[in-house]
Chain A
């Protein structure tokens, strides 16, 4: 087993940018399209995902020596399902309004590919400490992506941020429509691709010069 040598800050930065779950790994797209209409939704679902990712990463990292390799995937799934149940009940009890706005997506965290993937590729090979920071990084990366989408869509669609009126008018009402989620994610990915190309070009020039 190859344990990671990265420090905690490197792990967090890795999750935020280099391996951003939505824009780079292109995993768990459903919530990115479905409920990123406001920045608040993005923040709340981000917190929920962060909690589930960190909790299940730590759990798996702690008990990985006792899991038979043959049944590891079902074990991951059940661990995630348990933590999702916890956050689902907590949100339903303490934040009923926001919970209603997010609808079925809180329960669907259980099917997000990103969490299972991180358990399989990272938590199953590392100790609790690094797994914790990796979970934080991935959760923050997801939250960052969701909030970026929410920011763009809320500002352009409704002219507000966190429900406060910022612009005073609605530049592009189209962006609050649910269908605009697809466009928004598409544009964002293209921007990330473009940034990568520019970045490479700059690096190339530096090498030559």
Chain B
């Protein structure tokens, strides 16, 4: 029991350390906070008072949406708060707050000294944003019903409710593990050394390795759990979601928290899809289906109906 606790502690520490590393990397040391205000302004809070003349010069600021750096957003006016620590930038047009914005602040001058140029990422209320990624991956952009991934395993393991739940849980654990590892490797090894083109080779290797690792750890730490879920581990490798999520993380340049949320969302979304499907298929077993449609064909048509239902969620915006 003591050993088990040590494992958990170690895993938690590792996770927290990773998150901190990710959180600190982008911020500038002289800037405390950046956030959206209202529909068309951004507030920047500095660590110390800044010079009046510098702060009010519009040409010191440039802002753009993260996906298109070429389109600079027009700044209408700049105002400085009385304690000279907070600058409010008002834009001519409304900001699309679903997107992350990059704000560059040139040669910050505070009390006669230059503090260097800062590139800041402005995002919406952070926990709301994370939650929207989670729900987005789980329901709105469900990987099975709206992105059509992982179908082989989906149709293979959705015949019984117990199998479906077992597969869903195993899959969620593995995908969180695998995508956090591949996120780490991509951000700290592949990107700095310009090895992006090796993505596919590295990710598929990493996924197989982490499945093997989960297998070994589970066998030692919790044999009862292994007995229940071990069978599904082999199937996880054959699931394309488990390789699609690391690729998506790499494409979208998500940070650690966002990656974690996407991975959990993808796993839970798969669990939901499997559960819904298995409920229907248990009933199909006892119903009178035309002979040519028995088995897979009718399952595909049921999945199509589910996909139509899930289309109702598309375009939904949370926060």
**Which residues of A does B touch, CB under 8 Å?**
26-30, 33-34, 73-74, 77-78, 81-82, 84-85, 88-89, 104, 107-108, 110-113, 177-183, 185-187, 189-191, 193-194, 197
* Cα separation A208 to B299 with both chains bound (whole Å): 36
- Render B63-96 as a binary contact track against A, CB cut-off 8 A, 1 for contact: 0000000000000000000000000000000000
Decide: A33 and B148 in contact? CB cutoff 8 A.
Answer: yes
- Residues of B189-203 at the interface with A, using a CB-CB cut-off of 8 Å, are 197-201
Q: Please give me the residue from chain A that is nearest to B147 by CB atom.
A: A34
Contacts of A186 in B (CB 8 A): 293, 296-301, 304
Task: Please judge, given known A-B contacts A29-B155, A74-B208, A107-B200, whether A193 and B292 are in contact too, CB under 8 Å.
Answer: yes
Would you call B136 an interface residue if the criterion is a C-beta within 8 Å of the partner chain's C-beta atoms?
A: no
Q: Would A180 and B304 count as touching, CB distance under 8 A?
A: yes
A113 CA to B311 CA, complexed, in Å: 28
Measured CA separation A78–B201 after assembly (Å): 6
A126 to chain B, nearest CB (A): 23
Say yes or no: B307 contacts A178, CB within 8 Å: yes
Give chain A residues whose Cβ lies under 8 Å from the Cβ of B105: none
A111-B204 in contact (CB<8A): yes
Interchain CB contact under 8 A, B244 and A104: yes
Chain B residues, CB < 8 A from A84: 200
B side interface size, CB within 8 A = 40
The number of inter-chain residue pairs (CB within 8 angstroms) is 114
Contact (Cβ within 8 A) A30 B152: yes
- Give the contacts of B41-83 with A (CB-CB under 8 A): none
* Chain B residues near A30 (CB-CB < 8 A): 148-152, 240
A-B contact pairs, 12 of them (CB 8 A): A26-B155, A26-B296, A29-B155, A30-B150, A34-B149, A78-B204, A108-B243, A111-B240, A113-B152, A179-B307, A181-B148, A190-B293
Q: Is the CB of B243 within 8 A of A111?
A: yes
B220 interface residue, CB < 8 Å from A? Answer: no
When distances are taken between beta carbons in the complex, the residues of chain B under 8 Å from A28 are 152
Instruction: Give the interface SS of chain B, mostly helix, strand, loop or mixed.
Output: helix
Contact B152 A190 (CB under 8 A): no
Q: Does B135 count as interface, using CB distance less than 8 angstroms?
A: no
Chain A nearest CB from B65 CB (Å) reads 20
Chain A residues with CB below 8 A from B308, complex form: 177, 179
Give CA–CA (A78, B204) in the complex, Å.
8
Q: How far is the CB of A106 from chain B (nearest CB, A)?
A: 10
Question: A111-B238, A177-B308, A178-B311 known; 7 other A-B pairs, CB under 8 Å?
Answer: A26-B296, A29-B152, A30-B149, A74-B205, A78-B204, A183-B304, A189-B300
Q: Are A182 and B307 in contact (CB under 8 A)?
A: yes
> With A and B bound together, what is the CA distance between A186 and B197 in angstroms?
37
- Expressed in whole angstroms, the Cα–Cα distance for A18 and B207 within the complex equals 33
Contact at A82–B152, with CB atoms within 8 Å? no
Q: How far is the CA of A178 from the CA of B141 in the complex (A)?
A: 13
B291 within 8 A of A: yes
> CB of B248 within 8 A of chain A?
yes
